[in-house]
Amino acid sequence: MAVTIKQIAEAAGVSRGTVDRALNNRSGINPEVAKRVREIAAELHYEPNAVAKALAHSQRKVQIGVLTNSKGNPFFDKVLRGIARAEREIRSFGVSLIQSELTGYNPEEQLAEIDRIAAQKPEGLVITPINDPRVIDRLNELAAAGIRVVALNTDVPGLDKLCFVGCDYLQSGRTAAELLGQMTQSELRVSIVTGSFRMLGHNQRIEGFRTVLEQDYPRIRLVSIIETEDDNRSAYHQVGELLREDPPDALYFCAGGVAGGLRAVEESGLAGKLKIITVDDTDDVKNFLRWKLINATVCQQPVKQGYESVMTLFRFLTQKTLPKSKQRLTQNEVKLRYNIE
Amino acid sequence: MAVTIKQIAEAAGVSRGTVDRALNNRSGINPEVAKRVREIAAELHYEPNAVAKALAHSQRKVQIGVLTNSKGNPFFDKVLRGIARAEREIRSFGVSLIQSELTGYNPEEQLAEIDRIAAQKPEGLVITPINDPRVIDRLNELAAAGIRVVALNTDVPGLDKLCFVGCDYLQSGRTAAELLGQMTQSELRVSIVTGSFRMLGHNQRIEGFRTVLEQDYPRIRLVSIIETEDDNRSAYHQVGELLREDPPDALYFCAGGVAGGLRAVEESGLAGKLKIITVDDTDDVKNFLRWKLINATVCQQPVKQGYESVMTLFRFLTQKTLPKSKQRLTQNEVKLRYNIE
DNA sequence: CTGAAAGCGCTTACAG
DNA sequence: CTGAAAGCGCTTACAG
């Protein structure tokens, strides 16, 4: 039978209210009494009952804002599923989400939406922040006002955040390089197809990829990097041009635009000859894996990212539990034809 | 503001007790009243508050037995960590574990331990069942007596279970074959090092491996299978002999004994020349990956297996939630040198 | 078959 | 600064 505040109250000869004040460092209590109560609690190995705490708290309604630049981006489907799962789990605890989705990466739009959500007075905000000084400043203002911020999937410099939940992009790039290295033996030329040079994560993937090539696979040479803005049309045209003019032996797609790029590959007649490594496992990528057009893809546990971003904030807001680290990194999972779900 | 039984009671003109009886299909209630209450609840979109339910239930103490053949098996470290995490989460709900570990796979010992646990009257049992008719019979007796059984990590035929939590062994084998196929180009001879031909999972891995070789990589020929009983000494001797007498080009370790087998590889002077695929990511395997002695390993989310086995039972016992499927399969995750944590 | 009341463990106004 | 009481939403003996 677990120890309760009632037993502590009896042992200390005080009321349950006083025990509550002592244990939760509330104000309006004689410091000596508080100390004694805490000692007794420790002796009895008191562990607060999270369920009871939750029920008592359920009067106080907690709101968490969730703002993602996810509209029209199939990668985010799974992230949103993780968020929905978290919402279901925390509903009973009196926590609700103020959720909103944006298309693309327009800083003005994100600023406006941040303000709209902030007006509803959430106690925390999960966001895929755009790397723009105005956005960062605005978020830091919120943080200063006590609204805790969790960066989801992408991080930006100088953000005052509770934590970042996303993948280890450097490791993602390293893993892609190792895959390519292990899948080939001879000299090789590879091109990278990236999303944007303004995206920290994309750049880190390139950096990790490059590092491992230099260290472990000097026979593989990085010959060019294409920037697509995650746009399939742009990827189609640029990859097509590359393959017509100076085709490499391998491609590393470290961001979106895979469907467009692969269309160009198919039309080039090089399908099956090029080694291709991608990221994530959107439906497009899965199909290309099945058709043996993509050799492997490095995924980042998107469901977990959505789930954990909300839950980290929830745990902090309702149980004052700080995340173990400022970086809550998900695993980089390699998927091949036979282990995609 | 969420709908509560109090509001349903008012709307139906009955007491909260009656609403509770109706909503939870308890006995001793006029069927017509029950029907009306349920209709009103549905109209109001009533969703029971899980936290309040849990607190009210916390009087009734629930015990879950957990019996694993895990002693001395490093693979299970992470499984046990998942179990511990589940225990922490469900403690507040009045659920406690009766946990016990066995060494090896002795049916008599497992039978005795099952009885010892059953004597403490748990409401459910998580177990790594041994494939022995007496064990299966005994577990089915428990199931008949209302103790729900969850098979963890290994499944056995004819078991009356709530579900199996473990990996898709066939897919694990297929993935290993694909890795080997993608990492090589020319004709190849491969040997499998298995644990036991009596283990369903090990056999399924072999089958999956074989199937993909035949379908997709006919240039790779399976030349022999070694059985080690998951024993490093045995693996060392048998792999050593194989490498001295008729060395293949690749090895697939589909069970334990990796450390022993790799020692033989190192002594053979073939290290680095043999392609080696393993399963799981015990510390041994991780080190061999770092040293480039193993090319890749196919893991099975052991923490999740431990966690989900307990949580599935917990959800069933406390919320009557049945698992979506009898097979709760974890992902087969490919790990290379650069994406091991 | 039904209702009123007490209880799960913790929190929170409200007196004093 | 402290205690008594009511409350969170659901469950459970106990009367009737």
Mean predicted lDDT score pLDDT of chain B: 94
Asked, for residue B336, whether it belongs to a domain, the answer is no
A29 and A132 inside one domain: no
User: Strand ranges (DSSP E) for B82-235?
Assistant: 95-103, 124-127, 148-152, 163-167, 188-194, 220-227
A274 and A324 inside one domain: no
A120 CB neighbours strand D below 7 A: no
Measured between CB atoms, does B174 come within 8 Å of chain A?
A: yes
Asked, for residue A203, whether it belongs to a domain, the answer is yes
CB contact under 8 A, A178 and B55: no
B120 and B132 inside one domain: yes
Q: Judge whether residue B320 has pLDDT over 80.
A: no
Asked, for residue B55, whether it belongs to a domain, the answer is no
Can you list the alpha helix ranges (DSSP code H) found in chain A? Answer: 5-12, 16-23, 31-43, 50-57, 76-91, 107-118, 133-144, 169-182, 200-216, 232-245, 258-268, 283-290, 302-319
Strand D positions with any atom < 7 Å from protein CB?
Answer: 1-13
Report the pLDDT value the prediction gives residue B1, as an integer from 0 to 100.
64
Q: Are A123 and A64 in contact (CB under 8 A)?
A: yes
How far is residue A166's CA from residue A135's CA, in Å, rounded to a whole number? 19
A55 CB neighbours strand D below 7 A: yes
For A47, nearest residue in chain B (alpha carbons): B92
Residues above pLDDT 90, as percent of chain A: 82
Mean pLDDT of B306-333: 91
Q: Judge whether residue A283 has pLDDT over 80.
A: yes
Asked, for residue A109, whether it belongs to a domain, the answer is yes
* B15/D15 CA-to-C1' distance in Å: 15
Considering all nucleic acid strands, name the nucleotide whose C1' atom is nearest to the C-alpha of residue B51: D9
Inter-chain Cβ pairs, chain A and chain B, closer than 8 A:
92
SS (H, E, C) A254-279: CCCCHHHHHHHHHHHCCCCCCEEEEE
How far is residue A127's CA from residue A136's CA, in Å, rounded to a whole number? 11
CATH at A28: 1.10.260.40
Report the pLDDT value the prediction gives residue B62, as an integer from 0 to 100.
86
Mean pLDDT of A270-294: 96
The torsion angles phi and psi of A102, rounded to 5 degrees, stand at -120, 160
Asked, for residue A253, whether it belongs to a domain, the answer is yes
Measured between CB atoms, does B327 come within 8 Å of chain A?
A: no
How far is residue B58's CA from residue B73's CA, in Å, rounded to a whole number? 35
Residues above pLDDT 90, as percent of chain B: 82
Note which residues in 177-196 of chain A have CB less than 8 A from chain B: 177-179, 182-183, 185
pLDDT tens-digit readout, B201-229: 999 999 999 999 999 999 999 999 999 99
Interface test with A, best of B51, B300, B332 (most A CBs within 10 A): B51
pLDDT tens-digit readout, B280-319: 999 999 999 999 999 999 999 999 999 999 999 998 888 7
A99 CB neighbours strand D below 7 A: no
The torsion angles phi and psi of A62, rounded to 5 degrees, stand at -105, 135
B9 and B35 inside one domain: yes
Smallest Cα–Cα separation from A200: which of A237, A173, A236, A239?
Answer: A173
Report the pLDDT value the prediction gives residue A93, as an integer from 0 to 100.
83
Number of domains, chain B: 3
Residue B68: band (very low, low, confident or very high) from pLDDT cuts 50, 70, 90:
very high
Residue B149, Cα to own-chain centre: how many angstroms?
Answer: 13
A293 and A307 inside one domain: no
Measured between CB atoms, does B171 come within 8 Å of chain A?
A: yes
Smallest Cα–Cα separation from B266: which of B285, B239, B231?
Answer: B239
* A92/D13 CA-to-C1' distance in Å: 27
How crowded is residue A242: how many other Cβ atoms within 10 Å of its Cβ? 20
Mean pLDDT of A320-332: 91
B190 and B116 inside one domain: no
Report the pLDDT value the prediction gives residue A72, as an integer from 0 to 100.
85
A89 and A185 inside one domain: no
Report the pLDDT value the prediction gives residue A237, as an integer from 0 to 100.
97
Asked, for residue A335, whether it belongs to a domain, the answer is no
DSSP letter, residue B147: -
| Neighbouring residues of A144: CB distance < 8 A, sequence distance ≥ 6 | A160
Give whole-number Cα distances, A280 to A202, A215, A254, A304, B97, in Å: 13, 25, 9, 13, 38
A280 and A173 inside one domain: yes
A295 and A313 inside one domain: no
Token output for B224: 């022999």
B174 and B272 inside one domain: yes
Q: Judge whether residue B248 has pLDDT over 70.
A: yes
Q: Judge whether residue B60 has pLDDT over 80.
A: no
How far is residue B242's CA from residue A183's CA, in Å, rounded to a whole number? 26
Residue B100: band (very low, low, confident or very high) from pLDDT cuts 50, 70, 90:
very high
Asked, for residue B140, whether it belongs to a domain, the answer is yes
Mean pLDDT of A153-177: 97
B235 and B293 inside one domain: yes
CA distance B114 to chain A (A): 25
Mean pLDDT of A214-233: 96
Task: With beta carbons under 8 A apart, name residues in chain B contacting A298.
Answer: 339
Asked, for residue A145, whether it belongs to a domain, the answer is yes
Report the pLDDT value the prediction gives residue A272, as an integer from 0 to 100.
87
Residues above pLDDT 70, as percent of chain A: 100
B99 and B26 inside one domain: no
B20 CB neighbours strand D below 7 A: yes
* A112/D10 CA-to-C1' distance in Å: 42
Smallest Cα–Cα separation from A148: which of A306, A314, A330, A328?
Answer: A314
Report the pLDDT value the prediction gives residue A1, as an integer from 0 to 100.
65
Q: Which domain holds residue A14?
A: 5-48
Report the pLDDT value the prediction gives residue B318, as an integer from 0 to 100.
80
CATH at A324: 3.40.50.2300
CB contact under 8 A, A339 and B175: yes
How far is residue B256's CA from residue B195's CA, in Å, rounded to a whole number? 6
